[in-house]
Structure 1
Amino acid sequence: MSTRSRAVLLSAVAAVAALTLSACGKGGTSGGGGNTNFVTGNNGIDTVPAGKRTAVPDLSGKTIDGKTLDVADYKGQVVVVNVWGSWCGPCREEAAYFSKVSKQYEGKGVQFVGINTRDTSTTPAVAFEKEHGIDYPSLYDPTGKLMLRFKKGTLNPQLIPSTLVIDKHGKVAARALEALDDTSLLKMLKPVLAEK
């Protein structure tokens, strides 16, 4: 193995280890210094004004049921992205709320997408969605590579669970780094959905 290949592999292992250490936590702060353009509210939700938002990275791949999904296909809609794992207690706590709100906003310009991470197979992920009444698709991301596509210093999903709200233009508008109930989820979603 070349020195460069070894360095790339070590960087990837370190990044996955950092994500593992932060797994299934309550709250957190974004990495990186300087002016990040986002404001943390006292409700644990970070937001960015419309003119200062960054585009969501490529979030595409296979879903837990083997289909192909690309979040970019939902441009023009508000997209709620929830990062979860079947092994995560807080993810189980919030699942019923996500199911309820996704059904409430079905056909109203909102698309929910899950990112299932660190499940070693899709079997527990599919069982989790069935148990909690999750109808929307979830990308299968066992190693956390989709989470690593977000740039440092942006509203990136650093913990599990994390939730992002992506505006109609494909830019990240809000983030929560903790389990949400329906009230908190709607506080993130409604202002972005109201934007022109």
Structure 2
Amino acid sequence: MILWLLESQRRWRIFATLVLLLSAGWMWLARVPDAANGARIPSPRVDFPAPDFSLPTLDGDSIRLSDMRGQVVLLNVWATWCGPCRAEMPAIQRLYSESQPGLVILALNSTVQDDAAAVRGFADELGLSFPILLDTTGAVTHTYRVQALPTTFVLDRQGVIRKIFYGGPLNEATLRAALDPLLQEAP
């Protein structure tokens, strides 16, 4: 078939145009809708802006990701029933307890299967004091295309995803290696 395409310049141009159109279509389909305004945003990946969201916290407040601009953000997506999530939470809590200037830690409970009481029990049992966001509808988890738990996104001060960790558990050294260079960059 390839020889048949190459035999004629016209066939080759048609084939190249078809490939370009299919590529453009694929790129368009790889985008996900922004639930807030219907606009389309790129799927979350390294070197692209993190999709914005606003979620309630376990404490009844509300946090909007875009309000964290100017700070390095560790966004950890987890669930109470996830063993690796439970295993990495102490390392995340140690980072939070050390309160490095310019670092924000957000733990996003990603499942509609957990209720607020289960999340609070999990946080109390592990002594977690960082903000815990509740994605009760799963919309943010879907927007971020989370396929494995835990999934951790590291965002720079401009809100660009610089690192994604799939699965876990992560340890403190791995987290520091991803965060420290970003924290040393000028705000």
- Match for residue 21 of structure 2? none
Question: Which structure has the highest helix share of the two?
Answer: 2
Q: How many pairs does the alignment contain? A: 143
- Say if 2:46 is the partner of 1:56: no
Contact 1:114 1:138 in 2 (8 A): yes
1: distance between equivalents of 2:101 and 2:146? Answer: 25
- Match for residue 74 of structure 1? 68
Q: TM-score, normalised by structure 1?
A: 0.67
- Say if 2:107 is the partner of 1:114: yes
Structure 1 unaligned segments of length 5 or more: list them: 1-31, 34-46, 151-155
**Partner SS for 2:77:** strand
Task: Kindly provide the amino acid, as one letter, of the partner of residue 104 in structure 2.
Answer: Q
Contact 1:82 1:115 in 2 (8 A): yes
2: distance between equivalents of 1:149 and 1:181? Answer: 26
Contact 1:91 1:160 in 2 (8 A): yes
The structural deviation recorded for 1:171 is 0.9
Alignment of 1:35-54 (within 5 A): 48=46, 53-54=47-48
Q: TM-score, normalised by structure 2?
A: 0.70
Contact 2:79 2:114 in 1 (8 A): no
- Match for residue 165 of structure 2? 176
- Say if 2:85 is the partner of 1:85: no
The structural deviation recorded for 1:56 is 0.9
- Match for residue 182 of structure 2? 192
The structural deviation recorded for 1:143 is 3.7
> Which of 151, 157, 162 is 2:151 aligned to?
162
The structural deviation recorded for 1:107 is 4.7
Contact 2:75 2:105 in 1 (8 A): yes
Q: Higher relative CO (CA 8 A, sep ≥ 6), structure 1 or 2?
A: 1
Task: Kindly provide the amino acid, as one letter, of the partner of residue 175 in structure 2.
Answer: L
Instruction: Output the aligned Cα RMSD.
Output: 2.1
**Partner SS for 1:82:** strand
Task: Kindly provide the amino acid, as one letter, of the partner of residue 166 in structure 2.
Answer: L
Contact 2:74 2:104 in 1 (8 A): yes
